[in-house]
């Protein structure tokens, strides 16, 4: 890399005013608005960078000093600790990488209860960070590459020797010119502004397994945001929410439903075909069916998320007593009641029936 003093055309002992005058003279000569040639543009960048370094007293002192060396074959006190005590001297770690892992992302997905039975597929639209197509994550404009930092000479850190009671101690700090990267991007990519990634919408196909429930999170490795400078992508997490269903409810892997039955059908019994979440279901009402009884249809519930098979469909029976009767119906009921020899109505031992438990569950939804 060209010497900054040579670039500006000044002596190494030049004053701050001399450096400023030299920069202004060259800037007027090489500025793109005055001289549009490609050679002038490259020289203007070098002149500007040289002035940025030499006009700052601290950076100029670091540039003049060059890389510092310690004593006795060690890089300094930190290197002694690293050699004898296993510590890692800051300067020995080298420059840090521009590539960073991308952030994880969280997306909430709503599914219907019938999709939970067997699982479903979704194409999710995600607004996220993707790799820049222009620079492919290099952060540099096409045809260019990072240049070695002339302050830290590619190490990413600046070492200073400090005298102490223990002798000369070398301290190491990240280079302020390159921010510890060891290189400087003089021509950042115009598309991503030197980030190596851009924001974009992309479609992610997702398999949502059967048996998921509200609050469950599904991890999709590598489907999150792409990291800076083309770093590896983070993970995408899907948080599931199951929508409320007007007919069916869920209890673990079982489906719950309520069947309203006419009083006559409960007395005489009846064969009923019901529409479940995955097709018709045949249900047999036995004669004398009571409110609160539960009819279980095996293996017509939700497919288990972990393990084989499905839960059951449990149907709570609700016998409906008519509130309005025609004269003929009322007369028939009276005749029926007159022939019955049942005991008169009276208080009985309280029972928490299965249907009552189902009803309580529905009320808490």
**Residue set of the binding site for Zn(2+):** 132, 135, 149, 152, 175, 178, 189, 192
CA 323 to CA 319: how far, in whole Å? 13
Beta strands in the chain (DSSP E): 105-111, 120-131, 147-148, 157-164, 167-174, 183-184, 197-208, 217-220, 236-242, 249-251, 254-262, 270-276, 279-285, 294-297, 313-320
CA 44 to CA 28: how far, in whole Å? 10
Is residue 115 a contact partner of residue 245, using CB atoms and an 8 Å limit? no
- Say which residues have a Cβ less than 8 Å from residue 13's Cβ, sequence separation at least 6: none
Query: Which residues are part of a known binding site?
Result: 132, 135, 149, 152, 175, 178, 189, 192
The encoded tokens of residue 181 equal 């990267």
CA 23 to CA 44: how far, in whole Å? 10
The encoded tokens of residue 192 equal 């991503």
């Amino acid at each position: 890399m060209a010497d900054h003093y040579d670039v500006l055309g000044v002596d190494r002992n030049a004053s701050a005013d001399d450096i400023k005058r030299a920069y202004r003279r060259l800037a007027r000569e090489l500025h793109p608005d005055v001289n549009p040639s490609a050679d002038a543009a490259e020289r203007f960048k070098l002149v500007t960078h040289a002035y940025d370094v030499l006009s700052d007293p601290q950076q100029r002192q670091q540039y003049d000093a060059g890389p510092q060396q310690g004593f006795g074959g060690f890089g300094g006190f930190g290197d002694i600790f690293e050699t004898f005590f296993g510590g890692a001297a800051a300067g020995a770690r080298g420059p840090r990488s521009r590539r960073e892992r991308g952030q994880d992302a969280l997306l909430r997905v709503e599914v219907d209860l019938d999709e939970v039975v067997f699982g479903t597929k979704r194409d999710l639209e995600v607004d996220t960070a993707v790799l820049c197509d222009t620079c492919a994550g290099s952060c540099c404009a096409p045809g260019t590459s990072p240049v070695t930092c002339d302050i830290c000479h590619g190490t990413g850190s600046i070492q200073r020797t400090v005298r102490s009671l223990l002798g000369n101690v070398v301290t190491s700090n990240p280079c302020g010119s390159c921010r510890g990267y060891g290189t400087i991007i003089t021509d950042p990519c115009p598309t991503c502004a030197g980030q190596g990634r851009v924001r974009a919408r992309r479609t992610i196909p997702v398999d949502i397994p059967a048996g998921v429930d509200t609050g469950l999170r599904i991890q999709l490795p590598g489907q999150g945001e792409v990291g800076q400078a083309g770093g590896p992508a983070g993970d995408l997490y899907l948080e599931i929410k199951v929508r409320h269903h007007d007919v069916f409810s869920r209890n673990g892997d079982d489906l719950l439903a309520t069947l309203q039955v006419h009083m006559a059908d409960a007395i005489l019994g009846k064969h009923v075909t019901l529409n479940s979440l995955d097709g018709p279901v045949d249900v047999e009402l036995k004669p004398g069916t009571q409110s609160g009884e539960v009819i279980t249809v095996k293996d017509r519930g939700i497919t288990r998320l972990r393990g084989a098979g499905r839960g059951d469909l449990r149907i709570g029976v609700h016998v409906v007593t008519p509130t309005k009767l025609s004269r003929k119906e009322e007369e028939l009921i009276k005749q029926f009641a007159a022939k019955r020899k049942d005991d008169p109505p009276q208080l009985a031992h309280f029972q928490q029936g299965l249907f009552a438990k189902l009803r309580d569950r529905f009320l808490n939804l």
